[in-house]
Structure 1
Amino acid sequence: MTRPSADTTQTNRVLWILFFTALVVNFATINLRFFSDDPALYGSIAKQLIYHNTIWDLYSYSVDWLDKPHFPFWAIAVSFKLFGISTWSYKLPAIICYLLSMLYTWMFAKKYYSERVGIMAMLIVSTSLHIIMSNTDVRAEPYLMAFITGAIYHIAKLQERFNLVDLLLCALLTAFAIMTKGIFVVIPIGAALGGHLLLTRQFREVFRLKWLALIILTIIFTLPEVYALYVQFDLHPEKVVFEKTGVSGIKWFLYDSQFGRFNNDGPITRPSGDPFFFVHTLLWALAPWCLIFYYATGRTVKRMIKGVKQPEYYAFSGSMVLLLLFSISSFQLPFYTNIIFPLFAIPVANFCNENLSIKGEQVFRRVAQQVYIVAFPLVIFVIHFFLKPNSSLLMNIDLILLVVGGYFILSNKKIASQLKVFMLSCMVMLFVAFYLNTTFYPILVDHKGQPKAAEEVNRAIPANQVVYSLKSLNNGFQFYVDRPVKYVQFQNYQRTPTEKNAVFYADQEAINYFDQHKFGYRIIAEFIDYPQENLLPAFVNHQTRSQTLEKVYLIRKP
């Protein structure tokens, strides 16, 4: 067995150090309060599982809720049971799943390429801009990354040689993915296998009994989700869901939540999609690796057309089919593609590690990274100038670490030149992530009124007094209040009978409505709030920030 050279060992050691640093920076916000509604909603629903002492029924504001399958809520509820209800215990299961996705990414890339490509693929995922953002604003994507990548890894091993452990793990992870987002997640897993068999001309492999066993086991492992929906909704057609009765939870799970969104004709709709939405979204979401991803994908297609055998076709087939479906879907959101970033990262890592012989490819690889290496620090400097935080200490530490790390990489003669550029790209993204997580996001959170109003309720409102939210999207308030929160629409505030001394959380729109319609109310407390989820330049600029802020209130009926 050939031992790796000293240069190889040191290079891999530096890559490992960068990766573990990326994990620390990514998870530095584990206890940072929510600043968007979806994570707060998911956490609130998991709280309701605890309050209602159930594992089958999902509630928001103690009202039946049907929008996502159960698995993330089960995982979060277990974490709440073990560690108490908090921001960090909400994020913990997602962090575990993210680490699992990195393990599977490394094992898959190592199996078909090399250990170094595996480390680089993990780094590419962990330093992609939208992954950095999503590991702070945690939703369902880390779960899906783990389950889809893991299922593809085990299905690839199962295709080579039957193994009961791989069969069970592939079925289990696929079922977990289905119970996280719905049946569409079988598309990248099935496409990965189908594409590999098709492109390697192993057509007879499709008819192996092991695939039938895999399907049957996946269905069996998914039955808890079907049962949960059946007992909450199908057994109770009298329940009002989506403003109508007779809603089948199972039909929603199998059709409405998937094809309804794809066709944009389900109960939840958005403006029609753009076929190029993810083409331009990836320019920033997959930054700084997007340009290389586009080139590496095009090169792979060109080589396949020429009949050049590739190490594997799973990553290409699984990611491209799902990306195509996302692109033609009418329901599109920027974070959808996060779940296949590990599959995107593998060809990028292979291209960045390769000793290229074509001069043009060498120049492109270097310039495609240098664009981001220069642009991102400049953007952070501009943001910092306008943001004007109370202290620049963390920014200065961040900059020193970037300079010292960059100098070490550039001056190390044992690191190949193409890997120096790669490492600098990683360093720049760690610089960006450190700034976002230690300076920018804390300022954003500090201007969110919902957690502050919840803290005031927990501090000053007796536990026997009922608390209401006047909008369904006040989930940050719902999560951080240490008791169940009820819901009444602010338009119905006056005519809805409520408990004596009940407390209501109201935003400026509700208060304006009350004033216009002469509804009586008494303000208990008020808080400054940045009501947007999207960041406005006016908020970033400290001189105009006040123009973007509103007030939120705790009120009582007179």
Structure 2
Amino acid sequence: MNPLLIKKDYILLYILLAIVYLTGLWIPLMENDSAQHATMAMRMYLENDFVNIYKGGKDYLDKPHMHFWLAAFSFKLFGVSHWAYRIPALLFTLLGAYSCNKLAKVFYGKQASHVAALVFLSTQSIFLANHDVRTDAVLTGATIFGIWQLVLYVHLNKVKHAILGAIGVAIAFSTKGNLGVFVVGVCILVHIAYTKKWNIIWSWKTLVGLLAFFISIMPILYAYYLQFDLHPEKTINNRTHISGVKFILWDQCFDRLTATGFKKTSPDYFFFFHTLLWAFLPWSLIAYVALFNRLKLLWKVKFTLQPKTEILTSVGVLVVLIVISFSKFKLPHYLNSLLPILSVLVAGYIINLHQNNKIKTTNILLIIQYTILTLGSAFILFLILWAFMPPHVGYMLCYLLLVAGLCYIVITQMQKLRKLVIVSVYFMIFINFCLNTQFYPKLLMYQAGNNAAKIIESENIIKDDVFMLKNKPSWSLDFYTKRITPNLNIEEVVNMKKGTWLFLYEEQISLLNQNNIEWSKKYEINHHRITRLSFKFLNPNTREGILKKAYLLQIK
């Protein structure tokens, strides 16, 4: 049988995907989380303190150190910049793609390998995780690497795979706590149960793997011990005598499940199931079809072991989804660590369609993809041409070339499943190239902090003379001035020396008037919470009416 993808197909797609990911490196950081995490890592680098994590001068308990360590190390190598902050995320995304490739090859053969990697790299949430960088890109890459290595350990019983798998899981734990451990644990246990290789659990090599895991997480546990366990007087969420070690090993997981210390988010038990529809675009509907077909087959054969069948990517993912759906604190990016596993499931399903020549199913899926892609392309083109100023002529030429390429692929005669994969990946390349080069940069014109930093630089304002009013931080101001801006209360502002500068938001300026504080110079900056978009903001005719202001004032 002819291969689904030929070499020139995936090489060209990899090159175009690389271009899109590289353009994402240069987008300014968004508030809150991305700019906040970058600033926290920058403080580590500036103060050469890699033990303590602080958020706005307060001890930060919620997430472990790995993400911040990697970003701070990148700053040491390349200096403080948004592209340097994103380098670790990009590297772990590449590791995730490589691990998808190899895991798909283990389960479904060589033809599935590049399909799985392309599915993973062209997923919308993975694009997003590489420019709006939080802990999720590192977590995702480490999780799928750990699963791949532990699957090899189950199959080959070699101690090196147990150790490498344990290190992958340890990095996932060191990045976001027990979520990665839970995902890997459920998937591997499901795989062991299906293949009936229970003897692997009792092997001495498994003990070596567990030892490697605990050794690998010791730096995190020690850092938590130094910051919290040695300082029971510290107050976190109105509590003292906090054990950082106990928190990261146990409390964090259950605090999120019960929303203890967090504001409850969606009570919807199907939140993750419908969020997956956009998070896994353009593959989400195919993933649900693949999941349904796998569960249907397993039910038909009463879950007996079948040749060339695995349940890690179906039952494993479903169990995780069901469990996390009972959490009272839900966020879309909690799905990210499942996306590479689903990418392998989708690749296996597509290869199965190809090998069994399922023409009717292929035609239906191709029509669905064409519909999604056409609507999506039209929406993105409308958005970038309507919402903001027209793109640079160079970018417009690139967009036209990409549209021409998309049209060429659609009209070219080729095997339909091959066309489905190529068109789907190419569509996401087009979408995210437009977003990275036009939409996001224009959006960042309405984030006050990074634009205030530009004013400070262009007007040669001495950075050490700039302060912020308390209770409303600007992480992007801190990051782009490469300095932790001191936060002052209103009493301290009253006593500021003449000529110093104060950054504040529109709702805070009444405090200055109430305390008879005057200023000699004022820079007014448009501001909007750009991670919470609305039609009124996107509409250029109504945007001005909902914009807020931020100010950079020189005190008299």
Asked if Structure 1 and Structure 2 have the same fold, meaning a TM-score greater than 0.5 normalized by the shorter chain, the answer is yes
Query: Is 529-538 or 94-103 further displaced after alignment?
Result: 529-538
SS, match of residue 485 in structure 1: coil
Q: What one-letter code is carried by the residue in structure 2 that aligns with 1:148?
A: T
Deviation at 1:231, TM superposition (A): 0.7
- The answer to whether structure 1 residue 221 and structure 2 residue 216 are counterparts is yes
TM-score computed with the length of structure 1 as normaliser: 0.92
- The answer to whether structure 1 residue 96 and structure 2 residue 91 are counterparts is yes
Matched residue, 1:268: 262
Distance in 2, matches of 1:417 and 1:181, equals 40
Matched residue, 2:540: 542
Q: What one-letter code is carried by the residue in structure 1 that aligns with 2:156?
A: R
Matched residue, 2:390: 390
Distance in 2, matches of 1:520 and 1:318, equals 61
How far does the alpha carbon of each residue in 1:291-320 deviate from its partner, in whole angstroms, 9 at most, with x for none?
Answer: 110010011111112234443333334422
Distance in 2, matches of 1:41 and 1:25, equals 24
Structure 2 portions without partners, runs of 5+: none
Distance in 2, matches of 1:162 and 1:65, equals 40
- The answer to whether structure 1 residue 527 and structure 2 residue 514 are counterparts is no
Matched residue, 1:453: 452
Distance in 2, matches of 1:391 and 1:204, equals 61
Deviation at 1:405, TM superposition (A): 4.2
Matched residue, 2:428: 429
Deviation at 1:464, TM superposition (A): 4.3
Distance 1:557 1:398, change over 3 A: same
SS, match of residue 525 in structure 1: strand
Distance in 2, matches of 1:157 and 1:195, equals 15
1:13-162 → structure 2 map (5 Å cutoff): 13-162=8-157
Distance in 2, matches of 1:395 and 1:68, equals 41
How far does the alpha carbon of each residue in 1:472-518 deviate from its partner, in whole angstroms, 9 at most, with x for none?
Answer: 54211121123222224xxx423678663553321111114544x44
- The answer to whether structure 1 residue 485 and structure 2 residue 480 are counterparts is no
Query: Is 172-181 or 155-164 further displaced after alignment?
Result: 155-164
Q: 1:494 aligns with which of 491, 495, 512?
A: 491
1:318-337 → structure 2 map (5 Å cutoff): 318-337=316-335
Matched residue, 1:286: 280
Distance 1:495 1:9, change over 3 A: closer
Q: What one-letter code is carried by the residue in structure 2 that aligns with 1:312?
A: E
Contact 2:120 2:340 in 1 (8 A): yes
Distance in 2, matches of 1:337 and 1:420, equals 28
Matched residue, 1:551: 549
Q: 1:296 aligns with which of 280, 290, 296?
A: 290
SS, match of residue 543 in structure 1: coil
Contact 2:266 2:328 in 1 (8 A): yes
Deviation at 1:332, TM superposition (A): 0.8
Q: What one-letter code is carried by the residue in structure 2 that aligns with 1:165?
A: K
Deviation at 1:409, TM superposition (A): 6.0
Residue identity (%): 27
Matched residue, 1:368: 368
SS, match of residue 552 in structure 1: strand
Q: What one-letter code is carried by the residue in structure 2 that aligns with 1:520?
A: I
Distance in 2, matches of 1:435 and 1:57, equals 39
Distance 1:75 1:392, change over 3 A: closer
Q: What one-letter code is carried by the residue in structure 1 that aligns with 2:281?
A: A
Distance in 2, matches of 1:238 and 1:532, equals 38
Q: What one-letter code is carried by the residue in structure 1 that aligns with 2:368?
A: A
Matched residue, 2:465: 465
Distance 1:64 1:330, change over 3 A: same
Q: What one-letter code is carried by the residue in structure 2 that aligns with 1:275?
A: Y
SS, match of residue 553 in structure 1: strand
Contact 1:154 1:167 in 2 (8 A): yes
Distance in 2, matches of 1:48 and 1:166, equals 36
- The answer to whether structure 1 residue 509 and structure 2 residue 507 are counterparts is yes
Q: What one-letter code is carried by the residue in structure 1 that aligns with 2:56?
A: Y
Deviation at 1:416, TM superposition (A): 1.5
Deviation at 1:25, TM superposition (A): 0.8
Matched residue, 2:475: 475
Q: Aligned residues, how many?
A: 546
Deviation at 1:392, TM superposition (A): 6.1
Taking only aligned residues, the RMSD between alpha carbons, in angstroms, comes to 2.3
Deviation at 1:390, TM superposition (A): 3.1
Distance in 1, matches of 2:222 and 2:516, equals 45
Distance in 2, matches of 1:551 and 1:168, equals 53
How far does the alpha carbon of each residue in 1:68-100 deviate from its partner, in whole angstroms, 9 at most, with x for none?
Answer: 100011101111011100101000111111111
Distance 1:202 1:167, change over 3 A: closer
- The answer to whether structure 1 residue 235 and structure 2 residue 257 are counterparts is no
Distance in 2, matches of 1:149 and 1:446, equals 36
Contact 1:399 1:431 in 2 (8 A): no
SS, match of residue 173 in structure 2: helix
Distance in 2, matches of 1:472 and 1:448, equals 14
SS, match of residue 504 in structure 1: strand
SS, match of residue 312 in structure 1: coil
